[in-house]
Chain A
C-alpha cells in the first residue's frame, strides 16, 4: 500500500486539520506516514499546501514529487488547478467547486472548472453546501474528506477515528459529531 497525497487551499480553510485527520487515520492502520506543510506568511490568506505520504513500506522524503500524486485534494478550485502538476497521469482530483475569492483578479470560475474537467478522474463537489446541510458550515473540509475517502486507501472507521482524535479537546462534542456528519454526507457523494 502506498499513497501520495497533495492538499491545496487557502489559509484559514482548515487544510492542516484535514491533513492531521488523514495522518491520524493512517497511523491508526499502522502505516508509515510523513507529512510536509507550509507555515508562515501563507497563513495570511495566501496559498497553503500540504503533502502526505502513506506506505506500509519505508518512506524517506516528506515531499511528494511532481507527477506522482495519487490524489489531489483541493479545498478551492484555483488552488487545485495550480497544483495539478503534482498529480500522476492516472491520479484522482477531488475538490470543492466553491471559489475562495480574496483577490481582485480571481480568474473566471468556468475556465478553472473546465480545465479541472480535463482530468480523467475528477470529482467536484459543493463542499460548502454539504457542510451547511450537516449544520456545520465551517466543516467543508470534512465534506471533501468524505468525497476523497475512496482514493485514500483508508478505512471509513479510521477516518472517523482521525476526526475524533484531531478535534477532541479543540471542539465541543456536538461540533465533532457535526464534522463526522459532514464527512458522511461527503462520503455519500463518492
Chain B
C-alpha cells in the first residue's frame, strides 16, 4: 500500500480504521480534534461502516464507546488532556467493569499549554485507573498504536489509553498502512455481573484488576513499543518516552553512544528499567509532561543505584515541552550558535475575527454593567475568552468548561452582584446545563449570557450539541420563559441589546440572555468556497 503523509492525530485515526474500528466518539479539543475530523472524512463513515459522532462532552463520548465495547465491537473516545478530567468517572470505572470489545481512549496532552489552561499528564490517570497506556514516539507508531491497543484491551479485558502530545499530534510524517482487519461481530458479554458495579461485584473486579497488574507489566516487558538498545558508553543511560525518543535519535544522528531504553507502553516495564539502571552510572530520563517515569524509577531498587537525572533534578526544565535542543543540551552535546532574538517584534495575540458576534456581545455587556459597579463577568472556555483582552476587557474569569455559571452562582450567594455568566452554546451543553439547573433550584440571582454562534468555533467549527434549541433547554431546566431573552449581537442593535441585558441583570433570580448570531468563519465557509492559495 502507498505511504500516507499524516498528522499524528490522523495516523491514529487511520490506524484505528484499519484495525477494525466500529465507532468513535469525541468532544473537540486542541490538539486532539483532527483524530475525529479525519474519521468524519473517511470513506468508511460515508459507506456507513463506522459510527463517528461529536458528543455533548468527553464523558458522554467515553460512555458511548464503553457501550459499544460492551456490545463486543471495537470503539474509541478521543479528547484533549483536560477532557479526561470530565471523562474521569467512566474512565476509572470502565477499568473495573472492563472492556469486552477493544476499547481505547485517545488523549492528546498539551505540554507548554499551546492551547490549554494546564499541562497535566494523562499517564497519571492510567496509574489511577490501573490500565495500560501506549505512548507513540512517531507517526508510524501513532498508526500502529490503535491496532495494538485494541488487541491488548481485548486480551487484558480493560480499556487502554493512547497518549499523544502536541508535537506528535500536530506534525506530519510518513506511515505505511497494513492490511485491514475485519470489524468484530456483535458479542455482548456473557458475564453481566462485571458490568454491575454493586460493591460486592466491584470489590471482586477491583481485586482481580489489582492481581493482574503483574500481567500488565509483563505485557509491557514484551511490547514492541518498548526496547532497550545497548550503547558503548555506559557512563550514562537514557530513558526516553514518546516523542522524546525521536529527539534523542535526532541529536545523536540516529546512533546514541549510550544505552537507551525507549518506553512507549506502560505500566513501566520494570525489568527493562532495571536493565539500564544496573548497567549505567547515571541515567537521564527524558519524557514529555510530568516527571512520571523519573519519579517511579526512583522507587525501584536495583543492585547498583545510579544517579537519576531529569526534571526533578533540574537537568531538564520542570515545566514545558521538550525540544531537540533541550535534549542535546542535557546530553552535553554541542548546540548550534543561535542569533539573539530581536527586540523589535511585539506579541501578536490571537483576537476575535472581524465581525465576530462575540465582540458585539462583549461591548453590550460592558456597557450594560458600566453603571452597575461591583459586578463581575464569570466566563468560560471558548473564543469569547478572548473578550478578556483589549479592547474588550469584558470578562473576569475563565477556569474550566462550565465554571462560568456555577462560579457566578457561588459569587452571587456570597453577595457579589451583579453576577453574570458568559458561556458559549457548546460549552453550555458540554457542562453548563447542570449548573443552570442548580441556579433554578436555588433561585440564584444571576444572569447567564449564552453566546450562541451555532458551532464549536474555537476548534474549527464542529457541530454544536445545542443546535439552536437553547430556549427550550433553558425553559426545560426551569428558567421562567419571561426571563429567557434572545438578542442578535450586531452593532446596529447595540442600544436595544444593552437595555435587554440591563433588564435581565436587574431581575432578581436566574435569567438567560441568548446572544445568537452565526460564527463569521462558518458563515463564510457555508456561503462561498475558498478562493486563493
Contacts and interface: CB of A to CB of B under 8 A. Distances in A.
B348 A35 contact: no
Contact of A179 (B30, B249, B533): B533
B493 interface: no
B341 A170 contact: no
A155 interface: no
Contacts of B40: none
B533 A84 contact: no
B238 to A, nearest CB: 14
Interface string B120-155: 000000000000000000100000000000000000
B247 A60 contact: yes
Interface residues of B, number: 52
A38 interface: yes
Nearest to B248: A60
Interface in B146-188: 167-168, 170-174
Contacts, number: 162
B171 A60 contact: no
B345 A46 contact: no
B247 A87 contact: no
Contacts of B325: 65-66
Interface in A32-78: 32-47, 51, 58, 60-63, 65-68, 78
Q: Which of A44, A60, A68 has the most CB of B within 10 A?
A: A60
A51 B171 CA distance: 9
A111 interface: yes
A45 B249 contact: no
Contacts of B254: 58, 60
B336 A67 contact: yes
Contact of B247 (A17, A61, A137): A61
Q: Which of A41, A47, A82, A136 has the most CB of B within 10 A?
A: A41
A41 B247 CA distance: 26
Interface in A105-133: 105-107, 111-112, 115
Given A85-B339, A107-B344, A14 B351 contact: no
Interface in A70-98: 78-79, 81-82, 84-85, 87-89
B342 interface: yes
A34 B171 contact: yes
B531 A175 contact: yes
B337 interface: yes
B388 interface: no
Contacts of B336: 65-68, 88
A66 B338 contact: yes
Interface string B334-356: 01111111101110111111000
Interface in B353-393: 353, 383, 386
Given A89-B337, A167-B533, A171-B530, A45 B351 contact: yes
Contacts of B231: none
Contacts of B471: none
16 contacts: A27-B5, A35-B171, A35-B173, A37-B170, A37-B172, A39-B30, A40-B31, A43-B460, A61-B243, A67-B337, A78-B345, A81-B345, A82-B345, A84-B342, A170-B529, A171-B530
Interface of A: 10-11, 14, 17-18, 23, 27, 32-47, 51, 58, 60-63, 65-68, 78-79, 81-82, 84-85, 87-89, 102-103, 105-107, 111-112, 115, 136-139, 141-142, 163, 167, 170-171, 175, 179, 182
Given A63-B171, A65-B328, A87-B339, 12 more contacts: A34-B172, A36-B172, A44-B352, A44-B353, A46-B350, A63-B324, A66-B338, A78-B345, A107-B346, A136-B533, A138-B531, A179-B532
Task: Rank and list the top 8 A-B pairs by shortest CB-CB distance, nearest first.
Answer: A138-B532, A40-B115, A67-B336, A62-B171, A44-B350, A46-B350, A36-B171, A40-B30
